[in-house]
Amino acid sequence: MENWLTERSQPKFRAGQITKWLYTGRAESFDDMSDLPKALRKELAASFDIWQATIADHQRAEDGTEKLLVDLVDSGRVECVLLREEGRRSICVSSQVGCAMGCVFCASGLDGVERNLTRGEILEQMLRLQRLLPEEERLSHIVMMGMGEPLANLNSVLSALEVARSPAGLGISPRRITISTVGLPAAIDRLAQYSTPFHLAISLHAPNDSLRNRLVPVNDKIGIRPILDAADRYFASTGRRLTFEYVLLAGLNDSLDCAQQLVDLLRGRVSMLNVIPYNPVAGLPYQTPESAAIHEFRDALIAGGINVMFRQRKGDGIDAACGQLRRKRGLST
Ligand code: SAH
């Protein structure tokens, strides 16, 4: 931007003004950037597009959750979500069109992966969601828990998150930015060496390899032990408490035996286990356990000394789980 401005005999500081308008001023167009000379605004508008994607659908749930279905400019569509919880304004962002991981219960991967998102496509989701908030409300948290496997598109994810955390960008603390992964050890190690320590969440979903191989097929080539070892190295080098995610599927991974195995697996780690009741996907046979079973499962974990959080399901009625809306409305236009 600075080069572009210099070539046009404009002062470099205008780049900072433009950035500020985009990330904190919530400008929708260059014309909104009222402290730039009119002629410059025109030239910017002729040379650049702020928005590349189009919003194919916008849903709102009664609990304040909003979901956008975003048509990307070249191909494919993705979903992203705004969640309102007390003081928090969290957004859930996609990293790929589709997903190659193949988790059997998840809508995002049912048709495989189409392509990685670019840095700009990831950022555009954040900015579109930010603009759904009233002016006095700021985004507080970002979770890379939309469609796709963020660690399979790490370069674009990290360069988008750099803007998200930069004070000149969205200014969100890296502690409030979560990268969620199925568990790819080499990429976790890369992330551990990265200059900014983001919050890491690992989707475990099963306490032993035979069950995890069934639910999360890529596990077959990886295995739980190497993932936990990489997670421990991440903690050792960043000091960030780890989160493990566990989607509860009735009759599959919700037994007391599973709870006990989880206790044995995770005991002694500085971590939080986030248990998520399954959000049913049309056409898939998986179900949310009854609330009595969920409570028993929780009690067994607590008795075993595990730090647990049972997440509330949000966005019921608007297909808010990864990839549901895209499946319903078609994978592309
Ligand atoms: N690929 C990353 C990000 C995926 S989405 C990962 O695997 O972590 C974030 C979380 O939502 C994952 O734990 C994923 O397994 C979970 N998830 C996917 N579909 C779900 C559903 N229908 N109900 C509840 N959780 C779901």
Position 75 scores a pLDDT of 85
Position 74 scores a pLDDT of 83
Q: Name residue 208's amino acid.
A: N
17's tokens: 């003004």
The model's confidence at residue 326, banded by pLDDT at 50, 70 and 90, is confident
132's tokens: 């759904």
Q: Using one digit for the tens of pLDDT, what is the confidence trace for 272-300?
A: 999 998 999 999 999 999 999 999 999 99
Position 285 scores a pLDDT of 96
Q: Are 304 and 267 in contact (CB under 8 A)?
A: yes
Protein residue closest via CA to atom 22 of ligand 1: 279
Distance from the CA of 11 to the center of ligand 1, in angstroms?
46
The model's confidence at residue 139, banded by pLDDT at 50, 70 and 90, is very high
Q: Using one digit for the tens of pLDDT, what is the confidence trace for 14-69?
A: 999 999 999 999 999 999 999 999 999 999 999 999 999 999 999 999 999 999 99
Residue range of the domain that includes 15: 1-50
Position 157 scores a pLDDT of 98
Q: Is the CB of 96 under 6 A from ligand 1?
A: no
Mean pLDDT of all residues in 227-255 = 97
Position 333 scores a pLDDT of 53
Q: Specify the number of domains making up the chain.
A: 2
Verify that 263 and 246 share a domain, yes or no: yes
Position 287 scores a pLDDT of 96
Q: Specify the pairing of strand 77-85 against strand 88-92.
A: antiparallel
Distance from the CA of 247 to the center of ligand 1, in angstroms?
8
The model's confidence at residue 133, banded by pLDDT at 50, 70 and 90, is very high
Nearest ligand 1 atom, CA 323: 19
Verify that 96 and 143 share a domain, yes or no: yes
Positive or negative, the Cα torsion across 112, 118, 124, 125? positive
Mutate to test the pocket of ligand 1, among 79, 203, 222 (most ligand atoms within 8 A of CB): 203
For residue 119, which of 85, 164, 149, 58 has the smallest C-alpha distance? 164
For residue 184, which of 211, 151, 215 has the smallest C-alpha distance? 151
The model's confidence at residue 241, banded by pLDDT at 50, 70 and 90, is very high
Listed range (99-103, 129-133, 267-271) with the worst mean pLDDT: 267-271
> How far apart are the C-alpha atoms of 311 and 14, rounded to whole Å?
44
Does 322 score more than 70 pLDDT?
A: no
Q: Using one digit for the tens of pLDDT, what is the confidence trace for 94-119?
A: 999 999 999 999 999 999 999 999 99
Verify that 271 and 297 share a domain, yes or no: yes
Verify that 27 and 85 share a domain, yes or no: no
Position 318 scores a pLDDT of 66
Which residues, in sequence order, are CB contacts of 321 under 8 Å at separation 6+?
106, 107, 279, 281, 315
Mean pLDDT of all residues in 225-253 = 97
Q: Using one digit for the tens of pLDDT, what is the confidence trace for 179-227?
A: 999 999 999 999 999 999 999 999 999 999 999 999 999 999 999 999 9
Verify that 45 and 58 share a domain, yes or no: no
Mean pLDDT of all residues in 162-187 = 97
Q: Name residue 312's amino acid.
A: Q
The CATH number given to whatever domain includes residue 127 is 3.20.20.70
Mean pLDDT of all residues in 254-275 = 96
Mutate to test the pocket of ligand 1, among 92, 198, 276, 288 (most ligand atoms within 8 A of CB): 276
Verify that 26 and 142 share a domain, yes or no: no
Nearest ligand 1 atom, CA 106: 19
Q: Which residue has the higher pLDDT, 101 or 320?
A: 101
Alpha carbon distances (Å) from 71 to 55, 144, 149, 308:
6, 19, 19, 37
Verify that 279 and 303 share a domain, yes or no: yes
The total number of residues shown for the chain amounts to 333
Mean pLDDT of all residues in 168-184 = 97
Verify that 222 and 87 share a domain, yes or no: yes
Q: Using one digit for the tens of pLDDT, what is the confidence trace for 140-154?
A: 999 999 999 999 999
The CATH number given to whatever domain includes residue 12 is 1.10.150.530
Q: Is the CB of 321 under 6 A from ligand 1?
A: yes
Distance from the CA of 275 to the center of ligand 1, in angstroms?
11
Verify that 34 and 106 share a domain, yes or no: no
**Mean pLDDT, the chain, whole residue set:** 94
In the chain, the percentage of residues whose pLDDT exceeds 70 is: 95
> How far apart are the C-alpha atoms of 322 and 149, rounded to whole Å?
11
Verify that 134 and 228 share a domain, yes or no: yes
Paired strand residues for 201: 180, 243
Verify that 210 and 105 share a domain, yes or no: yes
pTM exceeds 0.75 for this model = yes
111's tokens: 């048709």
Q: Is the CB of 181 under 6 A from ligand 1?
A: yes
Distance from the CA of 34 to the center of ligand 1, in angstroms?
42
Verify that 46 and 126 share a domain, yes or no: no
The model's confidence at residue 311, banded by pLDDT at 50, 70 and 90, is confident
Mind spelling out the 3-state secondary structure of the chain? CHHHHHHCCCCCHHHHHHHHHHHCCCCCCHHHCCCCCHHHHHHHHHHCCCCCCEEEEEEECCCCCEEEEEECCCCCEEEEEEEEECCEEEEECCCEEECCCCCCCCCCCCCCEEEECCHHHHHHHHHHHHCCCCCCCCCCEEEECCCCCHHHHHHHHHHHHHHHHCCCCCCCCHHHEEEEECCCHHHHHHHHHCCCCCEEEEECCCCCHHHHHHHCCCHHHHCHHHHHHHHHHHHHHHCCCEEEEEEECCCCCCCHHHHHHHHHHHCCCCEEEEEEECCCCCCCCCCCCCHHHHHHHHHHHHHCCCCEEECCCCCCCCCCCCCHHHHHHCCCC
> How far apart are the C-alpha atoms of 279 and 57, rounded to whole Å?
20
> Looking at the annotation, which residues are catalytic?
79, 322
Position 315 scores a pLDDT of 66
Q: Is the CB of 279 under 6 A from ligand 1?
A: yes
Paired strand residues for 179: 144, 200
